[in-house]
Amino acid sequence: MVEASEISSANNVLELGPGNGAVTGPILASLQPGAKFLAIEKSPSLASKVSRRYPSARILEGCATTLGQHLRDEDFPAPDAIVSGLPWASFPESLQDSILSEVAASLHGTATFTSFAYFGPHWLPAGRRFRKRLNSFFSSVKKTRVILNNLPPAFVYVCRK
C-alpha cells in the first residue's frame, strides 16, 4: 500500500483507519523529510493503541465521514496521499458514499487514494458494489497485483481524481 500510494514523494499523508498501526509504521518510515502525517481512527481504544505504538505520529480520534472538518480543525493541508485500512465491504453504501465523498473532496490535485481489498471476496456483491463506488468518485481506479503472501491474499486499489 505504501509503495502504491507514492508516500516517499508526498508532502502531506493521511491514513484512515490505522487500526493497530500495521501500515502506519511503513508509512512513517517512507515519509520524506518535512512531510506531514495524520491518521484518523474512530475507535478510541485503537487510536490510543496506535498513539502509544508511534508516539511521534499525529493520531486523531475521529470519523472519516467528517474528514474535511478534521483537516480544517487540525490545520492539515490537502493530502497528497490518503491510505485507507477501512473495512469498506462491511459498510453500507450510504456510509461508503459519505466517506468517499469526503476523500475525493480532500485530495490535492493528482493525489492518490489507496485502499486494500481481499482477493476472492472482491467478487462477491459487496466487493463489486465497492468497486462501482470507487469508479463513481474517481476518474482512475487501478488494481495492483495480488499479494499472495498476505493472509488472506489481497490487492490495492489505486485511485486518482
Residue with cell 499525529: 58
Cβ–Cβ < 8 Å for 97, 133: yes
What are the E-state strand segments in 7-153?
Answer: 12-16, 36-41, 59-61, 81-84, 112-118, 140-143
The domain made up of 7-160 is a member of CATH 3.40.50.150: yes
The pLDDT value given to residue 101? 96
Cell readout for 39 is 491518521
Tens-place pLDDT, residues 66-123 = 999 999 999 999 999 999 999 888 899 999 999 999 999 999 888 999 999 878 766 6
- Whole-model pTM over 0.95: no
What are the sequence ranges of the domains in the chain?
A: 7-160
| Nearest Cα residue to 53 out of 30, 2, 19 | 19
